[in-house]
Amino acid sequence: MSDEPKRRFLVVHDYGMGGLWWWIHARSVRQIVETFAEVEVVEDPQIVARFANEDLTEVDVDIDAAAMPPGLDDLREQRDAQRSQHGFGALAGQGIVYLRRPPEEGDGTELSACFVELGPDGRRLRQVEMYRDATAIKTGPDDWPLNPPIDLYDPELAGWQVTPDQFEQAWCQARSES
């Protein structure tokens, strides 16, 4: 374990329409994201200041307590299950990441694939939705009311990675949403 002293970090699990917030005591951002799935460490000073006096649950990342606060316990269990899987953390720290996500089964759409360009924080930068009828729609941040980060440590994502050229080809063939 590192000799670095622990610091207090503001952490959120952003589920799109809201979020769960905690103060987590850890040695680094990496220690937090490797311990809990689907969380983001908030480093924007204005947001941290806004929460400074909030009565959020305080958690020590090193505590192996049987129970964590509600919400955080499931995220730790999820990360524990992912850690031993091939591809765990493969996309973290890569900078820009390109994925070709398969359609979700049973979602009722005619979507055949979704190409996504993600920033280093896991947020979408650009996206191309490809439909079974050969229609392809490209969108960007101005088109999305919500853009929660995607967990780049998720081992499933490593199997969806494509090259920048594959993404750009899909982007160039798509039309803007209007």
Higher-scoring residue by pLDDT: 133, 159? 159
Q: Are residues 75 and 37 in the same domain?
A: yes
Domain assignment of residue 16, given as a range: 7-83
Residues 24 and 76 in one domain: yes
Interval 111-151: pLDDT, tens: 889 999 999 999 999 999 999 888 999 999 999 998 989 99
Going along 104-169, which residue ranges are E strands?
111-118, 124-131, 136-139
Find all residues with CB under 8 Å of 3, minimum gap 6, and list them.
none
Determine what percent of the chain falls in helix, strand and coil, rounding each to the nearest 5. Answer: 25, 30, 50
Q: Which of 34, 61, 83 is the last residue of a domain?
A: 83
Residue 111 sits in the same domain as residue 75: no
Domain boundary among 61, 83, 105: 83
Within this chain, do residues 127 and 61 fall inside the same structural domain, yes or no? no
Q: Let me know if residue 2 belongs to a domain.
A: no
Any domain includes 142: yes
How many CB atoms sit inside 10 A of residue 114's CB?
A: 19
Residue 2 has what pLDDT? 61
Q: Which two structure tokens, joined as six digits, stand for 137?
A: 């729609």
One domain for residues 15 and 75:
yes
Residue 91 burial (CB < 10 Å; 0-12/13-18/19+)?
A: buried
Per residue in 5-29, pLDDT (tens digit) is 899 999 999 887 788 999 999 999 9
Residue 151 and residue 133: Cα distance in Å, rounded? 30
The domain boundary residue, chosen from 35, 56, 83: 83
pLDDT at residue 104, rounded to an integer: 74
Give how many domains the chain has, as a whole number: 2
- Tell me, yes or no, whether 76 and 129 share the same domain: no
Residue 169 domain-assigned (yes or no): yes
pLDDT at 107: 53
Quick one: tokens of 111? 């979507």
Please indicate whether residue 105 or residue 42 has the higher confidence score (pLDDT).
42
What is the model's pLDDT at position 178? Answer: 65
Per-residue pLDDT for 61 more than 80?
Answer: no
Percent of the residues in the chain that have a pLDDT greater than 90, as a whole number: 70
Whether 159 shows a pLDDT value over 90: the answer reads yes
The answer, yes or no, to whether residue 66 has pLDDT greater than 80, is: no
90 lies in some domain: no
Q: Do 24 and 61 lie in a common domain?
A: yes
Same structural domain for residues 17 and 55?
yes
Mean pLDDT of 68-89: 93
Question: Looking at the structure, do residues 36 and 71 belong to the same domain, yes or no?
Answer: yes
Q: Which of 111, 116, 103 is nearest to 164 (CA)?
A: 116
* Residues 51 and 120 reside in one and the same domain: no
- Strand spans (E) along the chain: 7-14, 19-26, 40-42, 58-60, 97-101, 111-118, 124-131, 136-139, 175-176
pLDDT at residue 160 tops 90: yes
Say yes or no: 111 and 49 in one domain: no
Find the mean pLDDT for residues 51-55.
90
